[in-house]
A and B are shown apart, each in its own frame.
Chain A
Amino acid sequence: MTLCGFNCGACPFAYLCIPMAVGAAIVWKQYAESAMQKKRFASQVSFLFISNLAFLVGSTGLVYTYFYCWEAPLAAMACPIGILEHAAIEVDLMLGVYLAGFVGLVSVVFGRAACGWACPIGFLQDMIGIRKKIRSSLARTLDRHGRWLKWAILLAIAPASYITGLMAFTEICPIGGLTATLPTLALDPGAYTFSAFFYPKMLFLAGFFVLAVLLIRGWCRHLCPIGAMMAPFNRFSFLQLRVDHDNCIHCGRCADICPMDVDMPEHPASAECVRCGRCVEVCPVDVISLGFR
C-alpha cells in the first residue's frame, strides 16, 4: 500500500506539498537553532495540513483561530472573519455567539500563540520576511501607529457587512486571494467566477507580499483582524511569557530578535506578542520563560 507514490495528478495536496517543501528548506536553518523553534516549525507544518483536511473529513464546523480561507480548495474549517460577516449580514446572533466562544476559549488558554505556532500566514511571513528591526524614527512612528489599523479593520467589518450586504472584508481579502482564489484558478480555471473585486483583491495580495517581505510579520503587526481578535487575551491568558526582572541584565537581545518588535523585557504580556519564544532562547541569563500560569 502506498499513500503517496508521487501520483500528483490524483493528490489533493499536490498544490501544497511542493511549495511547502521549498519553503521548509529555506527556513529550516532559522528553526534549527533551538528545540523550541523546531517544535514551532513542526507545529506550523502540522497546522497547515490540519487546515487542509477537507478531502478526508469535509467541513468540520470548527473555526480557524488563525488566518486561512474557508474557500481554499481543501479548507476543513471556517474563517472567523467569514463567520463574523455572515453573522452581521444575516443578523444571526448565535453565529456570533459561537464565534466568540470558540475564538475566546482558544485565546483565553493560549493568548495570541496561534499566530506564532499555528497560522499558515504567519508561517509564510516567517519564511519571507527579511527586515526585523525598523531603524528610522519616521518608520518607527508609522509602525507604532499603524498597529491600530488592525483594530479599526476588525471593528469595521461587521457594520460594513451589515450595511452593504457583502462580505466586506472577504471580498478583498488578500489571504483569501492567496489561499483560495489562486489555487482555484490554478486547479480549475473554468470553475472560477470573476467578480468586480478580483483585481482589488489581487492588488491587496501584492501589497501583502511587499509588506511581508519588507517587514517581518508586517501583516500580523498592522492589518490582521484575527490577530486583533485574540490580542487582548494576551494579558490574562494561561500561556504567558514571564520575565524575572530582578535578574535581567538588560542586554536587549530579546527586543532585538522579537519579530513583532515588542518592547521586551518590559512588556512580556503585550498584545503584539505571538508567543514565538525567540526571546526565551536568546536570553543569556535565562530570565525569560514561556509557560502556562
Chain B
Amino acid sequence: MRVLQVAAVAVMGVLLAAGTHVAYETAQTFNENRCWGCLALDPVGKAFDGFWTTYPPAYGGREGENVSHPGWIRAELNETPVVMLFFWYPGCGSCKTLWDKMKDEGTVVGGEADGDVTLDNVTLYSIDFVSGGNDTRSQAFDVYTIDRGAPTTVVLFKKDGAIYWYAFEGATYSKDRNGDTLTMRQLLERALEEATP
C-alpha cells in the first residue's frame, strides 16, 4: 500500500509540474481580462459622457443639487489646473488593486499614502478617509462618495469660473467596462485640455 501511495504522489507531482506553466499563463490572461471585485464595487460613472457640475442621477436624492466643494479644493483649483482625489484606507484590497493598476499604467507613482500623479499640472490628494480621521480633508469624502464606497476617485478642474468634476467609485479598472483606469487617464488628459486658469 505504501509503495502505491508514494508512486501515486510521484506521478501526480510530475503531472502537476508539467502543467503548471499552462495554469500560470491561463491565470495571467484571466487577470488581465477580469475586474476582480468591481462587481461588488460598481463604478458610479456608467459612461464617460462629460464632466458634471451638479450631482448626477447616480447620487440618488442629491441629483441636480449643487456640490459644496470644500474650500481647500476651491483654493487648490485656483493654483493648479486639475485636482485628482483618491479616497482609500489601509486594508482596502480594492483600493490597492486600483492603485496598482494605475501605477502599472504609469498614471501614478509610489504608494497610496505617499504617491503622486505623473501628469504635469495635476495635483493629487490621496486621502486615507478612515484612519486619517484627524485630516480635515477626509471630510471631502462625504461630498463626493455615493454610498461610502472605497476607493472613490475624483477628477476636478475649473473652466470659466465653474468647477467641473467626475467621480468613480470602486476598482474601476476592467477593460470591458465603462469607467476603467484608461478612461480615467483620458479623463485627466481631457480635464487638462479643458481647464482654464
Contacts and interface: CB of A to CB of B under 8 A. Distances in A.
Nearest to A97: B19
B9 A97 contact: no
A56 to B, nearest CB: 5
A105 B19 CA distance: 13
B5 A98 contact: no
Interface residues of A, number: 49
B36 A54 contact: yes
Nearest to B90: A1
Nearest to B25: A61
Contacts of A62: 23
Interface stretch (A5-13, A158-166, A197-205): A5-13
Given A101-B13, A104-B15, A7 B150 contact: yes
B148 to A, nearest CB: 5
A99 interface: yes
B22 A55 contact: no
A17 to B, nearest CB: 12
B162 interface: no
Contact of B40 (A12, A59, A61): A12
Interface residues of B, number: 47
A9 B13 contact: no
B143 interface: no
Contact of A12 (B5, B46, B94, B148): B94
Interface string B97-140: 10000000000000000000000000000000011000000000
A1 B22 contact: no
B36 A101 contact: no
A191 B147 CA distance: 20
A191 B18 contact: no
A202 to B, nearest CB: 19
B16 interface: yes
Given A1-B90, A2-B89, A58 B31 contact: yes
A2 B91 contact: yes
Contacts of B5: 108, 236-238
Interface of A: 1-3, 5, 7, 9-15, 54-56, 58-63, 73-74, 78, 92, 94-102, 104-105, 108-109, 183-184, 187-188, 190-191, 233, 236-238, 293
10 contacts: A10-B41, A10-B92, A12-B93, A63-B23, A94-B22, A97-B19, A101-B19, A188-B39, A188-B42, A236-B5
Going nearest first, the 6 A-B pairs with the smallest beta carbon separation are A98-B19, A101-B16, A101-B15, A61-B27, A104-B12, A55-B37
